[in-house]
Chain A
Amino acid sequence: MVEATVHERRDERSTGVGGSAIVAKGLGKAYELYAKPVHRLWDMLLPGGKKRCREFWAVRNVYLDVPQGSTVGIIGENGAGKSTLLKLLNGITKPTEGEVRVNGRLASLLELGAGFHPEFSGRDNIYLNCSILGMAEDEIEARFESIVAFSELGEFIERPVKTYSSGMYVRLGFSVASSVDPDIFLIDEALSVGDEHFKGKCINRLNDLREQGRTIVFVSHDMGAVKTMCQHVVLMDKGEVVEQGSAEKVADEYLKRAHARGNERLSALAREASEYPRWGSGEMEVTEVRLLDAAGRPGHVFETGDPFTLRMRYRAHAACRRPVFGVGFYRSDGTYVNGSNHAWRDRPIELCDVAAGEEGEVELRFESLPLLSGRYYLTTFLYDHAKAAPTAIDHREHALTFEVLDPRNHQHGLLYLPTLWTVRRGRPGDAGELLESRS
Chain B
Amino acid sequence: MFSLVRSLVRHKRLLKELVVRDLKARYVGSAMGFFWSVIYPFIMLFVYMLVFRVFLNMRWDDKASPKDVAVWMLAGIVVWAAFSETVTRSTNSLVENSNLIQKVVFPSEVLPVSLTISSLINMMIGVPIVMLGVAWFAYVKGNDVEVASLLAGQEILPEPEARDLALGWSLVALPLLIVLQGVFTLGLGYFLSAFNLLLRDTYHLVGVGVVVWMFSTPIFYPPYLVAEKDGGRYVWMLAINPMHWLIASYREVLVFGAWPDPGLLGRFGLVALVVLLLGATFFRSQKDRFPDLL
**Interface residue B31 (Cβ < 8 Å from any Cβ of A):** no
* Proximity bits, B251-294, A CB within 8 Å = 1, else 0: 00000000000000000000000000000000000001101110
Q: Which of B60-68, B79-87, B95-103, B203-211 contacts A (4 or more CB under 8 A)?
A: B95-103
**Interface residue A203 (Cβ < 8 Å from any Cβ of B):** no
* Bound CA–CA A1/B25 (angstroms): 23
User: Across the two chains, which residue of chain B brings its CB closest to A131?
Assistant: B14
Query: A37-B200, A40-B198 are known contacts. Are A114 and B10 too (CB-CB below 8 A)?
Result: no
User: Across the two chains, which residue of chain A brings its CB closest to B107?
Assistant: A132
| Residues of chain B contacted by A199 (CB below 8 angstroms) | none
Question: Which of these, A4, A93, A115, A137, contacts B13 with CB under 8 Å?
Answer: A137
Question: Judging by beta carbons under 8 Å apart, are A115 and B103 in contact?
Answer: yes
Question: Judging by beta carbons under 8 Å apart, are A114 and B105 in contact?
Answer: no
Question: Judging by beta carbons under 8 Å apart, are B17 and A41 in contact?
Answer: no
Question: Which of these, A31, A38, A92, A116, contacts B105 with CB under 8 Å?
Answer: A92
| Residues of chain B contacted by A132 (CB below 8 angstroms) | 11, 14, 100, 104-107
Q: Which of A117-125, A314-322, A339-347 contacts B (4 or more CB under 8 A)?
A: A117-125
**Interface residue B59 (Cβ < 8 Å from any Cβ of A):** no
Query: A38-B199, A114-B99 are known contacts. Are A92 and B104 too (CB-CB below 8 A)?
Result: yes
| Residues of chain A contacted by B292 (CB below 8 angstroms) | 31-32, 93
Question: Judging by beta carbons under 8 Å apart, are A92 and B102 in contact?
Answer: yes
Question: Judging by beta carbons under 8 Å apart, are B21 and A115 in contact?
Answer: no
* Bound CA–CA A273/B37 (angstroms): 63
Most buried by A among B100, B103, B288: B103
User: Across the two chains, which residue of chain A brings its CB closest to B293?
Assistant: A40
Query: A87-B291, A110-B103, A114-B104 are known contacts. Are A119 and B198 too (CB-CB below 8 A)?
Result: no
Question: Which of these, B11, B102, B288, contacts A131 with CB under 8 Å?
Answer: B11
Question: Judging by beta carbons under 8 Å apart, are A134 and B11 in contact?
Answer: yes
> Size of chain A's interface in residues, with CB distance under 8 A?
39
Question: Judging by beta carbons under 8 Å apart, are B13 and A136 in contact?
Answer: yes
| Residues of chain A contacted by B103 (CB below 8 angstroms) | 1, 92, 110-111, 114-115
**Interface residue A44 (Cβ < 8 Å from any Cβ of B):** yes
* Bound CA–CA A124/B24 (angstroms): 12
> How close is A209's CB to chain B, nearest CB, in angstroms?
20
**Interface residue A103 (Cβ < 8 Å from any Cβ of B):** no
Query: A5-B105, A91-B105, A132-B106 are known contacts. Are A115 and B17 too (CB-CB below 8 A)?
Result: no
Near A by CB (< 8 A), chain B positions 17-51 give 17-18, 21, 25
* Bound CA–CA A127/B200 (angstroms): 31
| Residues of chain A contacted by B10 (CB below 8 angstroms) | 7, 134
Q: Give the interface residue-count category, chain B.
A: 20 to 34
> How close is B191's CB to chain A, nearest CB, in angstroms?
14
* Bound CA–CA A20/B11 (angstroms): 28
> How close is B212's CB to chain A, nearest CB, in angstroms?
22
**Interface residue A70 (Cβ < 8 Å from any Cβ of B):** no
**Interface residue A90 (Cβ < 8 Å from any Cβ of B):** yes
Query: A40-B198, A92-B104 are known contacts. Are A117 and B25 too (CB-CB below 8 A)?
Result: no
* Bound CA–CA A31/B144 (angstroms): 69
Near B by CB (< 8 A), chain A positions 37-65 give 37-38, 40-41, 44
* Bound CA–CA A137/B13 (angstroms): 8
Most buried by B among A41, A87, A131: A131
| Residues of chain B contacted by A113 (CB below 8 angstroms) | 99
> How close is A137's CB to chain B, nearest CB, in angstroms?
7
Question: Judging by beta carbons under 8 Å apart, are B99 and A128 in contact?
Answer: no
Question: Judging by beta carbons under 8 Å apart, are B105 and A41 in contact?
Answer: no
* Bound CA–CA A177/B179 (angstroms): 38
**Interface residue A385 (Cβ < 8 Å from any Cβ of B):** no
> How close is A261's CB to chain B, nearest CB, in angstroms?
29
Question: Judging by beta carbons under 8 Å apart, are B199 and A3 in contact?
Answer: no
Near A by CB (< 8 A), chain B positions 117-171 give none
| Residues of chain A contacted by B97 (CB below 8 angstroms) | 117
User: Across the two chains, which residue of chain B brings its CB closest to A38?
Assistant: B199
Question: Judging by beta carbons under 8 Å apart, are A127 and B99 in contact?
Answer: no
**Interface residue A2 (Cβ < 8 Å from any Cβ of B):** yes
Question: Judging by beta carbons under 8 Å apart, are B99 and A92 in contact?
Answer: no
* Bound CA–CA A134/B13 (angstroms): 8
| Residues of chain A contacted by B25 (CB below 8 angstroms) | 119
- Top 4 closest pairs, chain A to chain B, by CB: A114-B103, A131-B14, A115-B104, A3-B105
Residue ranges of B at the interface with A (Cβ–Cβ < 8 Å): 10-11, 13-14, 17-18, 21, 25, 97, 99-100, 102-107, 198-200, 288-289, 291-293
Can you spell out 9 A-B residue pairs with CB atoms less than 8 angstroms apart?
A3-B104, A5-B105, A40-B198, A92-B291, A117-B99, A119-B25, A128-B18, A131-B14, A132-B100
